[in-house]
């Protein structure tokens, strides 16, 4: 399975895996599964640090690099195809970050791992 980690799932995977559902933890820990992140999630982590909503060990840049190494995260490029796909995604809310995550899952045929109820209800993408 090819998994796209929502930002909160990435944070929990790296720092508090007990917050993950059993199914999410099992899928993320399965070495046969690929784990992907979007540059949008990197941007969201930087914003959360700047706003003081999360505290990371070391600088945000160091944490991101270390987390990507430890979790074996691949990066799903943000490109024009993803941007165009945001116009076909129908979410219950208009959060731009969520639109980009859903579009990324659609374009790259990834299963979005999320606890966000709005994203879990998105049609046309695979969600865990």
- Give the range of the structural domain holding residue 24, as residue numbers without chain letter: 2-127
Beta bridge partners of 10: none
Query: Would you state the pLDDT for residue 73?
Result: 97
Is residue 2 within 8 A of residue 36, CB to CB? The reply is yes
Angle at 101 between CA 98 and CA 103, to 5 degrees: 105
Q: Write the CATH number for 56.
A: 3.40.50.1010
CB atoms within 10 A of CB 17: 12
Query: Would you state the pLDDT for residue 92?
Result: 74
* Angstrom distance (rounded) from CA 106 to CA 89: 9
Averaged pLDDT, groups of 10, the chain, 128 residues long: 95 89 93 96 95 90 93 96 90 83 95 83 78
Number of domains into which the chain is organized: 1
Is residue 103 within 8 A of residue 119, CB to CB? The reply is no
Query: Would you state the pLDDT for residue 119?
Result: 74
């Amino acid at each position: 399975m090819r998994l796209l980690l929502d930002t909160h799932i990435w944070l929990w995977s790296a720092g508090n895996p007990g917050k993950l559902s059993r199914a999410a933890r099992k899928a993320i820990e399965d070495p046969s599964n690929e784990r992907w992140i979007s540059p949008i999630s990197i941007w969201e982590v930087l914003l959360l640090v700047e706003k003081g909503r999360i505290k990371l060990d070391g600088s945000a840049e160091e944490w991101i690099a270390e987390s990507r190494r430890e979790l074996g995260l691949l990066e799903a490029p943000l490109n024009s195809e993803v941007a165009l796909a945001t116009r076909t995604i129908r979410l219950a809310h208009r959060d731009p970050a969520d639109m980009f995550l859903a579009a990324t899952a659609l374009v790259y045929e990834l299963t979005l791992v999320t606890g966000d109820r709005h994203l879990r209800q998105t049609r046309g993408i695979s969600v865990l």
